Every structure is written in C-alpha cells, then in structure tokens.
A and B are shown apart, each in its own frame.
Chain A
Amino acid sequence: MVEVANAIRFLLNGEEITLTDVAPDLTLLDWLRLDRRLRGSKEGCAEGDCGACTVLVGRVMSDEIIYDAVTACIRFVGSLHGTHVVTIEHLRGENGNLHPVQQAMVDHHGSQCGFCTPGFVMSLYGLWMRDPQPSRRAIEKALQGNLCRCTGYAPIIRAGQAISTYGQPQGDPLWAERIAVRETLLRLNDGKRVEIGEGERKIFIPASLDDFAALYEQYPEARIVAGSTDVGLWVTKFMRRIGPVIFIGHLQELRRIAENASEVRFYAGVSYSEALPIIENSFPELAPLWNRFAGEQIRNMGTLGGNIANGSPIGDTPPPFIALGAKLSLRRGEHRREIKLEDYFLAYGKQDRQPGEFVESVTVPLLPQGELFATYKISKRREEDISALCGAFRLFVNDAGTVGMARIAFGGMAATPKRAKAVEAALVGKPWTMDTVEAALPAFAEDYQPITDMRASADYRLLAAQNLLKRFFLESQGEQVQVKREVA
C-alpha cells in the first residue's frame, strides 16, 4: 500500500504553503490574485498565450532546482506540490533597489502601459538566470510567449541585452538561496501519494509511475493532467469541471528520455523544453519546428505525451513522428501494448485508447543514414502560432536516383494527423526529379480535403501542401528556398 498524505505543499516566494482543500480546477493565477492578493501577475488572456501572468516554478531535478517560466493562468494549484513558485513580488534587488532585470527595463523604457511588464520581467529573469548574456535570438525566443501591444518590443529587447551590465545571476537571491530551497522542497514533497477532496473535487497526486498506473486503472473516469496547456483552457475558456484529476507533471519517471543507437524513447511527461537538446542532437531537422511552436512558457509546461494523447489534428509533433515511424507505448495498470503512432488517431476526437489506459512513451526511430527528412510548419504568424498546416517529408533515394521509400504526413489537412499515401505512391519507384514531384501534386487532393477556417482557406492549405513537396525537392538539391530571419 502506498502511503497517502492529504495536503498539497509548496513554497510561494519565501512562504511554505499547505493546502488541504483545493478545487482541481483552481488556477495558480486566480489563487495568487484572489486568495493571496498578490496582484502583480496579471490576467491578459487566460489561455497561456499573452504571458502577462508569467511566474517561475522551480522543481528539484537531481542536485539542482530548475526554474521554468510558466503561465499561471492555466497552471493548476494542484500541480504545484513540492515546487517553488516565484512571482514578481519576490523579485528584489540589493538594499531595496530594483533587481537588475527591473532596472534594465526601466532604464531602457521597456514599459509603456505596464500591464504586460511583470510577465516580461519574469520571462527575462528566467532567461538571465540561465543565460546572462543572451543573444538577440535567445531573447526573442524567451519572449515568444509574452505579448506587448505598446512598445513594439524594441526597448524590451534592448533591456534584455543590457541586464548583465546591472548584475550577475550569482548575486541574485534565488541563486544564493538555492541550496536551502532545494532542501525545503524535498521536505515538502516526501514522496507520498497525495489525495484531497471527494467526487468531482478529487485530486490525486500519485507517488510514482506505477502508482499512477494503478490509480488510473482504478479511476478511469479521472482526468489526467500533465502540462495543462490544453486542459487549462477547458477550465478557463469553457468552464468545464475536470475533476477528479490525476496530476502527473511531477513524475520524474515520466520525464525520462532513453536513447540508443537506433531510436529515442520519450516518456510522455517530457516537456518540449526538456526534449529540445535531444531534438537538436538526434533529430536536427526538427529543431526549427521546435523553436517555433508555442511560447517558452508553454514549451516548459506542455508535454510530448499530451500533444499526442489529446488527438488534435493540428498538434505539431505527430506529423514528423509519423513520418519517422514512431511507436506509441500505451499502458493500463501493468499491461502495456505498442502501436504505430499513425494508427493511434482514429477520427476527429477519437483515439485508440481504452478506459484506464494512458500514453506512457513515444519511441522515435532515428533517421537512417542517407535518408532525406524535413518538417515544415506554416502559420499566419511565424512564431507562437498554431499551424495552418504542418508537413513532414521523409524519403529514400536509391543509387539509381529513384525514390525507394516515401513517408509523408500532415497536420491541419484532415480531421487527424494523416499520412499522404497517394502522394507517397506517386513518388515511389520514380526518379527523384521535379517532373516526378509535379506529377505527384494532384495526389494531394486524393489524400486531403482540408477545411477553411480562421487559420487558412482550403485552397491555400492544398496549394501550400503541394508547394512544400516542391520545397522539399529543391532543398534536397541544395537550394536555399526558405525565408530566414537573420538576427545577431
């Protein structure tokens, strides 16, 4: 029997918090603003897109604490067990002066109306602690999840580049106190399962991956919440009651990444941010995609398992993973089964997942030597936007110059992420030439009948998808055909 505790415990700024009565859908932002009356964090959108509510959440990772910028508006209080929540109110400089991040923002005129500013300060703070002298590109990336409507960002970027002239992370209180904070967090999370509330208000925080599997088998009606980047909106936008909830974001076993010579296994709780170094190393063709989807806060929260498990037709990981031949490991209690990722998506909103069963990991084969592979994301705004379409192309051209194998998959073109089997068939066995590409284009209309919505028209989706095959061909010939934003 697992031991059960009945309180969620975490550190808020400098104060230990113990909560024994928490609604599973209580957001961190509402709790901060309404219960704690800490009103520096603002609500701009309540869907994790504007960043005005950005706070840092620290968690123990082996010997250290990792502080992630997250959007408090869609982070649930129930997911905070054993963490250190740092809000704008905790940011302090020496002798009561402004913190270096704050002083840089003031001196560079980085605020106008000021409403988004606490969120920008927190995002820049998170960046400066891990990268004190960031490049402009690093600043832009750290700020992808922060919207400002007044300044045009230019002064904020200038402030970001200047922070280290005001102080170094080693002088920061959070850095100085990290050892003591780590000990506190380890004490607050003593490894027991936490259970709070009853019925719809029930919260489970499993003690381990096995405990989670057992719990979910026992309570298949429960809602699994990992990063809450999707479920958070069910609450803030649709006012759905989500309880009972099993929070799993804290499970280290689900955040593992296992590599061998032929494949990489990502456990379902790995965040996009955690996956990035492996992606850059093992799937470099996916790095540009990784750096463009969502904002930093969402990449810190959202998980690979969530992106797949929710079955969205516009999730960005399924197309490339399908093209690479990924396999999904599903688990119910102690029973595991493995399926091809492409077989998981049955229809819109319908996946091959049984009650009590969850996505435990996704295993992605490395690209075999000599194969061509690329993934292209098309969106109205270049960064932090949901794809209008996202296409992944994988091809093997044999020594004779003919296409030996083709795997193409798209998101945004059908009700599920889907392979372009007619296009593949039109390519295989043909010489890899522009003529072959041109001849294969009509097959797109066999594979896909996309819809018109606020992101793009059906005509555009189809034409752009066809043209992406041309891009793939041209790039395979060494031609530079993508626009590239060049910053220092």
Chain B
Amino acid sequence: MNKRVDPINLAVLHTRTRHDSGPKHVTGTAEYIDDMAEPAGTMHAYLGLSTRAHAEILAMDFSAVRGAPGVIGVLTADDIPGENDVSPSHKHDEPIFAEGRVQFWGQPIFAVVAETRDAARRAAQLAKIEYRDLDWLPDVRAAQQAGGKLVTEPLKLERGDVAAGLASAPRRAKGAITIGGQDHFYLEGQIAYAVPGEDEDVTVYASTQHPSEVQLMVAQVLGIRHNAVTITLRRMGGGFGGKETQGNLFAAVAAIAAKKWNRACKIRPDRDDDMQATGKRHDFVVDYDVGYDETGKILAVDAVYGARGGFSSDLTGPVTDRALFHCDNAYWYPAVRARSEPLYTNTVSNTAFRGFGGPQGIMACERWIEDIAYALGKDPLDIRKANFYGVHENNVTPYHQTVGDNIVHRIVDELEASSDYQARRDAIIAFNRTSRVLKKGISLTPVKFGISFTATWYNQAGALVHVYKDGSIHLNHGGTEMGQGLNIKVAQVVADAFGVNLDTVKIMPTSTGKVPNTSATAASSGSDLNGMAAWDACEQIKSRLIAHAAQLYQSDEADCHWVQGGLQVGREFVAFAELVASAYLNRIQLSAAGFYKTPKIHWDRATGKGHPFYYFAYGASVSEVTIDTLTGEYTVDRVDILHDVGKSLNPAIDQGQIEGGFVQGMGWLTTEELVWDAKGQLRTHAPSTYKIPLASDVPPVFNVQIAEWSVNPEPTIGRSKAVGEPPFMLAISVVEALGMAVASVAEYRVAPQLDTPVTPERVLMGVERMKEARG
C-alpha cells in the first residue's frame, strides 16, 4: 500500500485519451437513470413543497390528492419506518418530510406516489396545507442581526498577534464583501429509482456523488442495516457537488415507496422544484480588517466569514472551514485571525459546490489585495507579488501547515510574460484615458488550492479488479463518474499497470456492493484516491502472476518484467491473456480488492492546527474586459490561463476541467444571480431566470496552458495533481478586471469593491459610485 508509483510503461497514462463514454454521449446511447428500462408496475413519486419560508403546519388535507386519477398513495413523515432524517453531518436536523413546521420555501412536506409522473405531479398540487407564519431569516446580515444562530460549530484559525499587527499597521483596509451563491445547474436533475428485493433488500439507482452515504441514509430511513441496501449508478449528468448530499432525500423517498408497495419507484423533480428544494453554493458576507504597510505588504488580517447555511447543517461546517483554509489564497500573513459563522437562515440548506467554500475564501482575500492596491495607487499584481508565500521562509499558513511545494512565483511569472500582461495593461490605461463611454480592465490573479478532504477519514478509497480467464479486465472503483473523466483516468492506470490495451479494461458502474464504505467523489480527489486504489489491486494480481510465472518458467521473480502486452520472464515473453489462462488453471486468484489512504495528513479542528492538505495545486489567469459605463454591459475579451495539474494523467481531460471550471466560475461571478423575493421564494429557479454562461460567453481569445514542467513532489498516482476544483477560482480575474474598468472612472484612486455576481447592474452602480467619488 502507498508504494511509490512509477508505472511500468507509459502506453496510455499521461496521454490525451478520449472520454470512455464519448461515442455513447454523442449517439444518445449513454444511459442515465431516467433512460433505464423500467420494470412493469413502476411507480412515480413527486414531492409536495412548502409555500412558506417559515411556518407552523396547522393542518394537512390530502383527500383531493388521494382521489386524483392514478394516485397510489401519499407519503408523509408518518410513513417513514426508520428515522425521518437525511442529515449528512449526522446532526439529525434534516427531515425528509417537514414535521410540524416548515423552515424554507420549497421544503418537501409530502410525496405523492402514482402510476405516472404526470399523475403524481398534478396530484401534488391538490394538497391543502394550512400554515401559521413565523418570523424568518432571509440572509447572512439578517441572521447576524438576529443574534447569529449557527447550524454547526464555527471554526477559528489564528496565528501571530493580530491585535498588535493591526494596531501597528500604518494603513488599514476595512470593509465587507458580499459573495453570491450559485446553483449547480447540473443538466441532469436529481433522480433516484428504487427496486425492492426480498426480505429487507432494496437496490437504488441514484444520481449521486456519494453512494455509500445514500446507502446509509436509505438504511436509516427504512430502519434496516446497510447490508440490505445497494446503491448503483453508471454515470451522472453533472454533479459539481450538487449530488454529494442532495440526492439523499430523493433516494430515500423512492426506497420508502418501493418497500411500502413492493413496486419499483422513480422520483425526478421538475427543474423548478429541483432548484427550489435542493441546496446551492453558500453565499458569504466577509467582514475584514487588514493592516498593511506603505509598500503594500500585509501585516495582519482579521476576518469573519458569515455564510448562509440555510435551515440545516448539511455540509455548511466543512464548507465554511474550507473558506477559512483559503483565506490566504497564495499570500503570507504575518498575523491572522479568521472566524467562520455558519448561520441558520430560512432558506434551502446550502451545500457542496466545486471549490467547497474555497472560492469564497479566495474571493474575499483578493478583495483586500485590490483595496490595498487602489489605496496605494499600484498595480494589484505588484501587491500580489509582494505578499506571495516564500519558498523557504514566510511559508506557514493560518492553519500552521508549511507550504512546502510553492510554485506560484513561476506560474505567475510565466503567465505574466506569455500573456504580455504589462504591455496590455499600459495600452488599456491609455485607452481609458481617451475613451468616454467604454472602459477596459485587465487583471492577473493566482490560485493556490489545498488538496485533501479536511475530514481526514474521507481520504481513503477502494477498488475491485477482476481479471477473467480470457484476459479481459473488470474495473470497479469507489468513485463516481459525473463527466469529469474519472473512469477513463482510472482505466488508463489499470491498462498501464497490466500493459494491456485500454479496450481490455471494462469500466463497471459504481456499486456499494462492489466497493464498500467509499468516500464522496468530491474535493477533486477522485483520481488521486481511486487511481491509487485500483493501482494497488493491480499490483496484488500482478505479484501473484509473477510468482506463478517464475515458478512455471523456473525463473527468478526478479527476472520477470511487465512490458506492453504481457510479461517478460527472462528471455521468454508471455502474452497477458496466455499468462492469465495458465494462472487460472493453476488456481491463482485473479481478483483483488485494492485500497489507498492518503499519507501525511492530520488536522485538529479544535486547535486549528495541523497538516490538512497533502499538497497544493496552483494556477493563474489573466482576464481582459470592456465595460459600457452607460449600461454596465460588458464583454470578457481575452483570458490566458496557466494551470498546474502536476504530471497530467490525461491532458485532454485536464484541459476540459480547466476550461469548464473557468467558465463555470465566470458564471458564478458574473451572470448567475440567485434572487429571493420578499416572501422568501427563490425567483431564479429555471434557466429562463437563472443564467449560466453560454457558448457566446466564452472569451473570444481563450489561451489555456497546462504547466507541463510541473510534477507533484508527492508520490501521487503518476505524480499528477487534482484538477476538479482549482481552475474554478481562476475566474476571479474577471471580477478584478471589471473592477479596474470601473475604477478607471475615478482614475483608479478608489477601490471598486464590486460584490458578486458582477451583473451589468452591479457594474453600472459601481460606475455611479466612482462618479460620485470623482465629484
């Protein structure tokens, strides 16, 4: 276990291999859960949702629902055999169906089960719920003013003497930034489909990033043991964190119905219900007080990270923790105090989303960098460089981990040169001097992102590899495929391990019956963990095959070497299939369960100290924008990216993660605005009102480079680095470029202080503030 991984050949690994499902995607034959053939008698469930933000439920009348055509029955909290809870933090604060009171608009209260989805959906409208309205808390500021009830324990990170640092600082940047949330907008919505078995058994096909947790939740709500529940999925139509915990409820409802009526049951909400009933990226308000000197060097940082947790804990604790872990981005703070406020609000419970709080932490950090730059009249890039972590000194994080692999200087220097940043910035300043209405901006921002689950026990993975008599290979691992290319990467590892062609390796659906006790496919860790676990399984089989070959050919094991296509035994070459067939006849076990746990990491949350991250991933981007100061409309004209993925397992897949992550991040920071009305209803709950980027939002010039020289100093699989989340934060340069364009209106003397998302409205209002400041 955890042995050094230097693959025996490089036939497939580190190459631009296409996504295994590509041909199925483009022909429409890739199967998603809603596409599976349903057994006869399949029922359909549909949720009934709260139409109050916070209210006591006085009465519920389902007579019209039950009498509607095609209705089989209604499920409420009373119909749950086990516990009415799907809280992933095990705080037992997240009921499947509201009991006694509702805590947000869109909270599930009941489910209708009917012969068709249409019948269930129509019938769900017929319920009569009587409410008595209660006071409610819409957002961070309201929750803080009401006393700041928390959904989970806050975290504090502290290092150095903050009070002294602030007191002695020649200059201060004080303020607050509001950072908006984000809907996942996975194209395939939430869906689950349960098939009852004998005894207590149930199999649930669930679109989830976390099958083992769905298994736990289904067992918990049914009051049965985990071994009676099997969770299976082939693929998701996108996840982005939105299917880490948010699928639990749907799987549970389908399973309850399936067992109650002993018929298969599918549940798939409409997009509007999906967006109202499931959690999103947390919006934050970060209050900060930063001391710095005349050169722009930061002396002390004191910040409070208020997050809209929603009505339950869900993952708000770990998300706000990760915001604090990224309060430094790539910068050294001589003294720092960061505190989280995971606040209770009467809104949907916010959850995991690509970056998991990290983007909000970095966004806030870049805000005060910008404040400092404008106050001193300098290029923000100079302030960034002045504060970068050192390589041998000034390299301890607020959580007391030493940054030992710092490559931010090289990344930024190379990108600054390749993007021609300085000359373009000069040209933009010249343009802005003469252009009355249109203004331009440019910005370079870095990213440093910690890799590992901060819940240390999550950093483990299993795999199950079978080699069949004909030499074909079955690959099972505990990760889930949501489009990120995890399956192809792990298959590349296995193909290379055995020296076989990729088409010899069949990638199986993820199943809790094959690999138990898995972690969520999250925190960018999928290929790090599952690639290693699969590698371990292969190594076990290979060592048995070598022992067998050595005996068969009366050779030394030391003389056996894996080569492409099979095993070199001394001067003999044995083809893989031949070796396997012979091993079978000699009763050699051709199956192995692999395992991996990330070394070196530890974390003590109570003291705020430890080594929570195995390593860091780095990147940087330069964005150039043009704004219209009459309307606030803008275009992102050019983006250059240099990003570190270590030694890439698959540059094509990694490039896709970088490009896709950037654009998704740009959506979060520009057009994706979540708007609740005065009654607490989310008004942006479908693509007609919630605007993710389009093809025409991709920058006309979009240069994406992988830092090809980078090699992970840690012995990860193929010396690669995680890539799922870090590129998301590259989009922060778009905000800063918009900020520069806005600030040009007042000669760059006033920090633009744009809250996000930076909609055209926010740009125009920023311009108006600048006009006032200019006088």
Please tell me which one of the listed residues B635, B687, B764 contacts residue A484 in the complex, with CB atoms under 8 A apart. Answer: B635
Contact string, A7-38, partner B, CB cutoff 8 A, digits 1/0? 00000000000000000000000100100010
Q: Are the C-beta atoms of A471 and B630 separated by less than 8 Å? A: yes
Report if B621 contacts A (CB, 8 A): no
How many residues on the B side are at the interface (Cβ–Cβ under 8 A)? Answer: 89
Q: Is the CB of B692 within 8 A of A147?
A: yes
Is there an interface contact between A113 and B188, defined as CB atoms closer than 8 Å?
yes
Any chain A CB within 8 A of the CB of B89? no
Q: Which of A445-479 contact B (CB under 8 A)?
A: 453-457, 459-460, 463-464, 467-468, 470-471, 474, 479
Contact between chains at B634 and A483 (CB < 8 Å): yes
Are B627 and A106 interface neighbours, CB within 8 A?
Answer: no
Select one of A49, A107, A112, A114 contacting B24, CB under 8 A.
Answer: A114
Q: Is A154 an interface residue (CB 8 A)?
A: yes
Write out, one digit per residue, whether chain B residues 33-56 have a CB within 8 A of any chain A CB (1) or not (0): 011010000000000000000000
Known: A50-B187, A113-B483, A150-B483. A481 touches B656 (CB 8 A): no
B105 within 8 A of partner (CB): no
Report the bound CA distance from A348 to B627 in whole Å. 34
A386 touches B688 (CB 8 A): yes
| A111-B25, A149-B692 given; A483·B635 CB < 8 A | yes
Shortest C-beta distance, A122 to chain B (Å), equals 9
Cβ 8 A contact of A149, one of B25, B187, B765? B187
Minimal Cβ-Cβ distance residue in A for B663: A152
CA A111 to CA B26, docked complex, whole Å: 8
Give the shortest distance, in Å, between B19 (CB) and chain A (any CB).
Answer: 6
**Cβ contacts B686-700/A at 8 Å (1 or 0 each):** 111101111111101
Is B136's beta carbon under 8 Å from chain A? no
The answer to whether A109 and B653 touch across the interface, beta carbons within 8 angstroms, is: yes
- Report chain A residues within 8 Å CB of B628: 471, 481-483
Segment with Cβ contacts to A, from B230-238, B327-335, B418-426, B461-469: B230-238
CB distance from A238 to the nearest CB of B (A): 9
A157/B691 in contact, CB under 8 A: no
Per the bound structure, the CA–CA distance linking A41 and B700 in Å amounts to 30
Q: How far is the CB of A413 from chain B (nearest CB, A)?
A: 14
Tell me which residues across on chain B come within 8 A of A91, comparing CB atoms. Answer: 27
What residue in chain B is nearest A48 (Cβ atoms)? B688
Q: How would residues 431 to 464 of chain B score, 1 for a CB under 8 Å from any chain A CB and 0 otherwise?
A: 0000011100000000000000000000000000
Contacts of A454 in B (CB 8 A): 673, 675, 683-684, 689
Contacts known (A98-B27, A154-B698, A157-B698); A49 close to B686, Cβ less than 8 A: yes
Q: CA separation between A150 and B653, bound complex, in Å? A: 11
Give the CA-CA distance A42 to B35 in the complex, in Å.
9
- Chain A stretch 94-137: residues in CB contact (< 8 A) with chain B: 98, 101-102, 105-107, 109-118, 121, 136
Count, A-B residue pairs, CB within 8 A: 275
CB neighbours of A193 from chain B (8 A)? none
Residues of B near A362 (CB, < 8 A) are none
Is residue A239 within 8 Å, beta carbon to beta carbon, of the partner chain? yes
Q: In the complex the two chains form, what is the Cα distance from A184 to B675 in whole Å?
A: 50
Q: Is B631 a contact partner of A468 (Cβ separation < 8 A)?
A: yes
Q: Which of chain B's residues have a CB closer than 8 A to the CB of A481?
A: 436-438, 628, 630
Name the CB-closest residue of B to A119.
B187
Residue from A105, A382, A468, A471 whose CB has the most chain B CB atoms within 10 Å: A382
**A143 CA / B694 CA spacing, docked (Å):** 8
Picked from B29, B675, B702, B764, the residue with its CB within 8 Å of the CB of A463 is: B764
If the complex has contacts A114-B235, A457-B761, are A40 and B635 also in contact, measured as CB distance less than 8 A?
A: no
CB distance from B363 to the nearest CB of A (A): 19
The answer to the question of B371 belonging to the interface, with a C-beta cut-off of 8 Å to chain A, is: no
Asked if B564 is at the interface of the complex by the 8 Å CB criterion, the answer is: no
Best-surrounded residue of B34, B633, B695 (most CB of chain A within 10 A)? B695
**Is the beta-carbon distance between B656 and A112 smaller than 8 angstroms?**
yes
B659 engages A152 (CB within 8 Å): yes
Closest to B437 in A: A481
The interface residues of chain B lying within 8 Å CB-to-CB of A44 are: 187-189, 271, 687
| Docked pose: A147 CA to B19 CA in angstroms | 20
Interface residues of B in 173-192 (CB under 8 A from A): 184-189
Known: A383-B694, A479-B437. A378 touches B27 (CB 8 A): no
Judge whether B485 and A146 touch: CB under 8 Å: no
- Do B764 and A483 touch (CB < 8 A)? no
Contact A107 B18 (CB under 8 A): yes
B271, A47: Cβ atoms closer than 8 Å: yes
Contacting residues, chain B, for A118 (C-beta < 8 A): 25-28
CB pair A147–B23 under 8 Å, yes or no, is no
The complex places the Cα of A94 from the Cα of B240 at a distance, in Å, of: 37
Question: Given A109-B18, A470-B630, does the pair A117, B761 have CB atoms closer than 8 Å?
Answer: no
Q: Does A322 contact B (CB under 8 A)?
A: no
**Nearest CB on A from B90, distance (A):** 30
Interface flag for B297 (CB, 8 Å): no
Q: How many residues of A contact B (CB 8 A)?
A: 91
Chain A residues, CB < 8 A from B35: 39
CB neighbours (8 Å) of B138 from chain A are: none
Instruction: Decide yes or no whether B294 CB sits under 8 A from chain A.
Output: no
Chain A residues in 8 Å Cβ range of B240: 149
Contact in complex: B631, A114 (CB < 8 Å): no
A484–B482 CA distance with the chains assembled, in angstroms: 35
**Which among A105, A143, A149 is the interface contact of B238 at CB below 8 angstroms?**
A149
A167 to chain B, nearest CB (A): 14
**Are B187 and A106 in touch, CB under 8 angstroms?**
no
Q: Could you tell me which residues of chain B, from 185 to 223, have a CB within 8 Å of some CB in chain A? A: 185-189
- Could you tell me the distance in whole angstroms from the C-beta of A34 to the nearest C-beta in chain B? 8
How many angstroms from the CA of A480 to the CA of B29 in the assembled complex?
Answer: 49
Task: Tell me which residues across on chain A come within 8 A of B26, comparing CB atoms.
Answer: 98, 101-102, 105-106, 110-111, 117-118, 121
List, in ascending order, chain B residues with CB within 8 A of A140's CB.
694-696
Contact A115 B656 (CB under 8 A): no
- Interface flags for A375-394 (1: CB within 8 Å of B; 0: not) read 01010111111101000000
Q: Mark B101-145, 1 if CB is under 8 A from A, else 0.
A: 000000000000000001001100100000000000000000000
> With A44-B271, A454-B673 in contact, do A111 and B695 touch (Cβ < 8 Å)?
no
Is there contact, CB below 8 Å, between A141 and B696? yes
With A and B bound together, what is the CA distance between A151 and B185 in angstroms?
A: 13
Query: Is A89's beta carbon under 8 Å from chain B?
Result: yes
From the candidates A147, A457, A488, name the one contacting B694 in the complex (CB within 8 A). A147
Chain B residues with CB below 8 A from A474, complex form: 436-437
Q: Which residues of A contact B21 (CB under 8 A)?
A: 111, 114
Whether B28 lies near A88 (C-beta < 8 A) is yes
| CB-nearest residue of chain A to B761 | A460
Q: Does B662 count as interface, using CB distance less than 8 angstroms?
A: yes
The answer to whether A115 touches B187, judged by C-beta atoms less than 8 angstroms apart, is yes
* Nearest chain A residue, comparing its CB with the CB of B21: A114
Decide if B659 touches A155 in the complex (CB within 8 Å): yes
Confirm or deny: B397 has a beta carbon within 8 angstroms of a beta carbon on chain A: no
Which chain B residues border A46 with CB–CB below 8 Å?
Answer: 270-271
Chain A residue contacts of B414, Cβ below 8 A: none
- Whether B656 lies near A45 (C-beta < 8 A) is no
Whether A144 is near chain B, meaning CB under 8 Å from some CB there, is yes
| Residue contact A40 to B27, C-beta cutoff 8 Å | yes
CA distance A239 to B482 in the complex (A): 31
Q: Which residues of B contact A37 (CB under 8 A)?
A: 37
With A480-B438, A481-B438 already in contact, 6 other A-B pairs whose C-beta atoms are closer than 8 Å: A43-B34, A111-B22, A149-B664, A152-B656, A153-B663, A380-B760
A-B contact pairs, 23 of them (CB 8 A): A33-B34, A41-B28, A47-B687, A91-B27, A114-B237, A115-B186, A115-B237, A118-B25, A118-B28, A150-B656, A152-B660, A154-B659, A239-B122, A378-B631, A380-B671, A381-B691, A382-B635, A382-B697, A386-B688, A460-B761, A471-B437, A483-B634, A485-B637
List B residues at the A interface (Cβ < 8 Å).
18-19, 21-32, 34-35, 37, 118, 121-122, 125, 184-189, 235-240, 270-272, 436-438, 482-485, 626-628, 630-635, 637, 652-653, 655-656, 659-664, 671, 673, 675, 683-684, 686-689, 691-698, 700, 702, 704, 759-761, 764-765, 768
The 6 residue pairs across chains A and B that have the minimum distance between CB atoms: A40-B28, A113-B483, A115-B237, A114-B25, A152-B663, A112-B483
